[in-house]
Amino acid sequence: MAKQIQEILIDDLDGGEANETVSFAIDGSSYEIDLSDLNAKKLRDALTPFVQHARRAGAVTTRRRGRGGNRAMSREKSSEIRQWAKAHGLPVSERGRIASTVVEKYEQAH
């Protein structure tokens, strides 16, 4: 049995297909927005004059996420998976990371 899961990013501005997630920060808050190549270029072009005159504020770890990016699991989803795993006799800890095999079995069942 083969299974293919596809994640499609939707442009947060115009609702079309997005190609990347752009990260940026302003006034102490960090943001991410999914954008098409055209809209990502517009954002970068708009910020360029400010970036050219700004100073770096230290190392910021960002990751650029394209198609198939990995997202952290919400607490609610983790709780659902733990309850499901217990009901089906699968070993799962009360806290911490859930084994990928358990998550895969949950996703196959849903």
CATH number at residue 23: 3.30.60.230
Task: Quote the domain boundaries for residue 97.
Answer: 75-109
8 and 47 inside one domain = yes
Using the structure block, give the residue that is written with the tokens 């190609």: 19
51 and 102 inside one domain = no
pLDDT of residue 70: 45
Number of domains composing the chain = 2
Sign of CA dihedral 37, 7, 10, 47: negative
**Distance between CA 19 and CA 3 in Å, rounded?**
23
3 and 37 inside one domain = yes
11 and 32 inside one domain = yes
**CATH no. for residue 105?**
4.10.320.10
Q: How far is CA 66 from CA 10, 23, 26, 94, 102, in A?
A: 11, 12, 22, 32, 26
19 and 50 inside one domain = yes
Token pair recorded at residue 3: 């299974």
| Residues 51 and 57: beta-carbon distance below 8 Å | no
**What does the pLDDT look like over 66-93, one tens digit per residue?**
544 445 668 888 889 999 999 999 888 8
2 and 46 inside one domain = yes
pLDDT confidence tier of residue 4, bands split at 50, 70 and 90: confident
| Residues 30 and 24: beta-carbon distance below 8 Å | yes
